[in-house]
Amino acid sequence: MSSEIARTNPTPPPPPVERMVFTPPIDIYETDDGLLLRADLPGVSLDTLELQVQDNKLTLFGRMQPSIPEGARLLHQEFETGDFLRSFILSDEVAHERISAKLNHGVLEVLLPKAPKAEPRRIEVRTN
Amino acid sequence: MAVFRWGHSWDAFHDLEREVDRLLQSVNMTFQGLRFSRQYPPVNLYELPEEYLIMAEVPGVRPEDLELTVAGGVLGMKGRCVEPEGTSEERFRRQERPRGVWQRSISIPDRVNVDNLSAEFTNGMLKIHLPKAEAAVPRQIPVAFGS
């Protein structure tokens, strides 16, 4: 009887595994040319990293993909795999079009160059 | 001119919602960290049929600053989080990343063949292979059937 019920009510497929989203720790410091941002993104490679600027918002998204072989049994856990997400509002003093970035040993480095200050312009006043 | 756009205001609301979710998650993580008195670097330990695998999160460590030792059944890890050279404290607008020298020791079981340890370092992740000693790998024992 019980096997009959089991057959008519098949177990639903397991829900998709939800990935955790982490806020990566960052450093921001001033250089002579602008600001330098560093973010710790362990396990993120160039292929799984997205960096974009929209309006005045800089967003970084990285997917952690540690190479764990199939069938490995977890014995002890101190960190979880997931995605890194963080966004920043850029001030007007950053030259958006000259932003550059590199990824080295799990650290993203974004260079935010200072926009040149607008020079005061003299406006000639004429009279009729 | 439309100063206020509906689409954008809702987007902002969703952003906030997500932000709160994330905040709660991170608080949760903090509690976990306190409970287990978090050590640096965080490590995960896996078991495979032929080996144990240690994964450690060590972003920003240069391979030449990384030191791995094994002695007396203890695996020692030592490294340094590189700080930007010649940067004075007052130039930092934000400082959240761990810095300085770190060290951690992990005792490894007897069933590990310490002569054949190997390690890889990719994308700020350190992966240490600890092959199991011969005796620890399950061996098939043939069973003879008596007539």
- Please name the residue of chain A whose CA is at the shortest distance from the CA of residue B64: A105
pLDDT at A103: 94
Pick B39-84+99-137's CATH classification: 2.60.120.10, 2.60.40.790, 2.20.28.90, 3.40.1410.10.
2.60.40.790
- Please name the residue of chain A whose CA is at the shortest distance from the CA of residue B32: A78
CB within 8 Å: A79 and B57: yes
- Report residue B9's pLDDT band, with 50, 70 and 90 as the boundaries: very low
Q: Token pair of A91, please?
A: 């001030």
Torsion sign over Cα B109, B114, B116, B121: positive
Torsion angle of C-alpha atoms B30, A45, B70, A76, degrees rounded to 10 = 40
| Coil, strand or helix at A5 | helix
Q: Token pair of A9, please?
A: 């009510």
CB within 8 Å: B91 and A29: yes
Nearest to A42 among B46, B53, B125 (CB): B125
Question: Mean pLDDT lowest for which of A92-106, B78-92, B118-132?
Answer: B78-92
Interface test with A, best of B123, B127, B129 (most A CBs within 10 A): B123
Shortest CA gap A83–chain B (Å): 11
pLDDT at position A13 over 80: no
**Domains in chain A: boundaries:** 24-65+80-116
Q: Token pair of B68, please?
A: 């791995």
**Domains in chain B: boundaries:** 8-34, 39-84+99-137
Contact B47/A at CB under 8 A:
yes
pLDDT at A2: 47
Beta strands B125-131; B51-57: pairing state: antiparallel
Nearest to B47 among A26, A75, A105 (CB): A75
pLDDT at position B86 over 70: no
CB within 8 Å: B124 and A26: no
- Please name the residue of chain B whose CA is at the shortest distance from the CA of residue A34: B91
Mean pLDDT, chain A, whole residue set: 85
pLDDT at position B54 over 80: yes
pLDDT at B112: 86
CA–CA gap between residue B30 and residue B118 (Å, rounded) = 32
Shortest CA gap A125–chain B (Å): 31
pLDDT tens-digit map of A39-81:
999 999 999 999 999 988 999 999 998 788 888 999 888 898 8
Which fold does the domain A24-65+80-116 belong to in CATH? Immunoglobulin-like (2.60.40)
**φ and ψ of A125, to 5 deg:** -110, 125
